[in-house]
A and B are shown apart, each in its own frame.
Chain A
């Protein structure tokens, strides 16, 4: 009942939970079971992961488990949530994956997830799981993307502090050329805002600075990337790194920066619902997903970032940690996420956000300390 309440709330608020454009969602991947295998079984996965991103993983799993007929439905995070909650989807999902961390956490907290009882799950790093029910399977930093031309004029941007200083310094030049999430429209943007506000009060200076340059507010990472590629924007703030990486490979004029003072890290959370029709097949999928092999596929063939501590190559959490150390701030997988979903909390934060964003411009005379965020 509580979940319906929240659902109704998010619909009411017009909250777009997916960082992706809605048009790209609702795709289907199907891998039929190989002929001649005994014990054919079904596996239905609902996820808010773009099909090109997840396809290598699914293909590899299917190659190793040809007896399982696998169906992947790509939905928006809201659709994931809604179809799951309504419970009238047919067939029932056996695995639910989504980047909307608070919503996923809320589902698990209310007891919709089934404990896994797998060795791989037992060994999973504690910071990336909750009980044996909810698992962070990817490691995706939130990044700043800017056009390389910008660096030629104003120097590189390596941190939030540098971004803030640039925005305040070059207010006129950057007016309308900066883009970020609209926290009122985007669930991801809102989640980042909550987390960043928690990290440091200086976040509000940054919001004020973004307001100062009259930054464009959009709903998805894709919109930001498109705008940057077209040259409408010079700087994009708070893009989902996993999408940006793939995009930047095709658009060499874009530079991706993981801020060195702090970088939020988003994780896709997956769980096995109690209502699953094929829990055994789902368990096998989790066993694969949490294994070193499955994670290696994620790190090498997708931009999603692997969590498994044994992996140290590029695209792994360990590599990022080695590079950025303490600056990485994975969004904590804990009850604090529930506060993000609080209706009044949301109103309070958005009110504050708008207040800061539309704050009357103040001269940039505040001396900036070189000190990074706490």
Chain B
């Protein structure tokens, strides 16, 4: 879109162009009309003249006879001093008298009088031909009177009439253009108000816009307000998340501080050692928490979503399981993979999906599962983690996806595991659902890659 582009200009151009075309059409029409009118007016002269001549045609000495009245010719010439021609022809088409061998015209319809423009000896003539017959007692001889004059008078009248139309059309065009400009200005004024209202806002406020606008712009205002409302919610979420995260980090840090202080009052190095061990464990879990917070933030940032590439879910499941195998083995948990033989291809980011599985396995382990199964289904591509732990009551299954929500106060989880899983599922346009395990005891988390919309 060029810098010159503007709604105002667009409207003006697209309204003025057709207007211009229309004006040109009107002028063309006016010219044709003017010429037609002039021809009609001047054809009356041809009509009158040919009639005056025809009335003088008599039968005498076995031949057509004409006593031509000078006035019959003089009426053919106007102020424009046209050149004048006339001729009389008999029924056989023989020239009887006249000052020019005027060309005949092909008869039109039943009319006894017809006109046409002809070029004769290099002159542009309007010819009128009158077919008539003698009205004598016995003689009904047919004859033809042809009269013609040059077009100066017609052209002058056409010019005059056309100039009149020209002035009228020009005035109309001017009025139309003025009206158009004013109308467009008026119609676009709410847009200016909207712009001004937005510009004058405090940049930190997300309060809805309150402004009276026409319907089309009201829709835009509503859309803007909806966007603002979403932004308010997002900001509230972010603020809560930051609050929660600070709180989560403060507790272990306070614990560390207290433990260190306690240990410092002791003199026994073995107690120091215990304290240090405890502090190491706490700081490790705090570090993990920090890592999770970081990945959570990164996942929620729409600006840095990595590109989705084709990958095999089976591979993801095996890798994740392999990684978690050691920890589970230490705790005596039975961890297994169920995957089809053929590849299950989707578009995704493998490390995110692996993280997802690791989180789910970890969760199940922490909440006391004895048996964990990672499963890959093909139709549609689905990742499932099923355990035989305590499960989650149906009414809490949505709540647990929120950060820092914990199903119970026991356990040592950060409360971010499922939230991260949820975020990854969103990033993959996958559908995350929580179910009872297939034997009714435990939890089955299912991530269905419904459509490859990436």
Q: Interface on A for B, CB 8 Å cutoff?
A: 1-2, 6, 106, 109-111, 130-131, 194, 198, 332, 334-345, 348-349
Residue of A106, A111, A194, A334 near B99 (CB, 8 A) is A106
Complexed CA–CA distance, A198 and B85 (Å): 21
Interface string of B138-181 (1 = CB under 8 A from A): 00000000000000000000000000000000000000000000
The stretch from B32-40, B70-78, B195-203, B244-252 touching chain A is: B70-78
Residue of B66, B74, B81 near A342 (CB, 8 A) is B66
Complexed CA–CA distance, A256 and B70 (Å): 30
The residue on B at minimum CB distance from A106 is: B99
The residue on A at minimum CB distance from B95 is: A5
**29 contacts across the A-B interface (CB closer than 8 A):** A109-B83, A109-B84, A109-B85, A110-B83, A111-B122, A111-B123, A131-B81, A332-B74, A335-B76, A336-B70, A337-B70, A338-B73, A339-B70, A339-B72, A341-B99, A342-B66, A342-B97, A342-B98, A342-B99, A343-B97, A344-B65, A344-B67, A344-B88, A344-B96, A344-B97, A345-B67, A345-B68, A345-B97, A348-B65
Contact present for B65 and A335 (CB under 8 Å): no
Q: Which residues of B contact A334 (CB under 8 A)?
A: 74, 77
B114 within 8 A of A: no
The residue on A at minimum CB distance from B63 is: A344
Question: Which of A198, A341, A342, A349 gathers the greatest number of chain B CB atoms within 10 Å?
Answer: A342
Contact flag A335-B97 (CB < 8 Å), given A198-B70, A345-B68: no
Contact present for A1 and B101 (CB under 8 Å): yes
Contact present for A342 and B68 (CB under 8 Å): yes
Q: Which residues of A contact B67 (CB under 8 A)?
A: 344-345, 348-349
Residue of A110, A194, A339, A344 near B100 (CB, 8 A) is A110
B86 within 8 A of A: yes
Contact flag A338-B81 (CB < 8 Å), given A198-B70, A344-B68, A344-B96: no
Q: Which residues of B contact A198 (CB under 8 A)?
A: 70
Main DSSP-derived SS at the B contact region: mixed
Contact flag A335-B96 (CB < 8 Å), given A111-B122, A345-B67, A348-B65: no
Complexed CA–CA distance, A192 and B374 (Å): 132
Q: How far is the CB of A148 from chain B (nearest CB, A)?
A: 37
The residue on B at minimum CB distance from A342 is: B68
Q: How far is the CB of B334 from chain A (nearest CB, A)?
A: 119
B408 within 8 A of A: no
Complexed CA–CA distance, A198 and B68 (Å): 12
**Which residues 78-95 of B have a CB within 8 angstroms of A?**
81, 83-86, 88
Complexed CA–CA distance, A111 and B81 (Å): 13
Q: Which residues of B contact A106 (CB under 8 A)?
A: 99
Contact present for A336 and B99 (CB under 8 Å): no
Please give me the 6 A-B residue pairs with the lowest Cβ-Cβ distance, nearest first: A336-B70, A335-B84, A339-B70, A335-B73, A348-B67, A345-B68
Main DSSP-derived SS at the A contact region: helix
Contact present for A338 and B101 (CB under 8 Å): no
Q: Which residues of A contact B72 (CB under 8 A)?
A: 339
B2 within 8 A of A: no
Complexed CA–CA distance, A194 and B74 (Å): 15
Q: Which residues of B contact A349 (CB under 8 A)?
A: 67
Interface string of B257-298 (1 = CB under 8 A from A): 000000000000000000000000000000000000000000
Complexed CA–CA distance, A343 and B67 (Å): 9
Contact present for A339 and B73 (CB under 8 Å): yes
Complexed CA–CA distance, A96 and B65 (Å): 34
Q: Which residues of A contact B100 (CB under 8 A)?
A: 2, 110
Complexed CA–CA distance, A131 and B83 (Å): 9
Complexed CA–CA distance, A130 and B83 (Å): 10
The residue on B at minimum CB distance from A109 is: B83
The residue on A at minimum CB distance from B85 is: A109
Question: Which of A106, A335, A343 gathers the greatest number of chain B CB atoms within 10 Å?
Answer: A335
Question: Which of B72, B84, B122 gathers the greatest number of chain A CB atoms within 10 Å?
Answer: B84
Q: How far is the CB of B94 from chain A (nearest CB, A)?
A: 13
Complexed CA–CA distance, A342 and B72 (Å): 13
Complexed CA–CA distance, A131 and B153 (Å): 12
Q: Which residues of A contact B101 (CB under 8 A)?
A: 1-2
The residue on A at minimum CB distance from B84 is: A335
Contact present for A340 and B70 (CB under 8 Å): yes
The residue on A at minimum CB distance from B69 is: A339
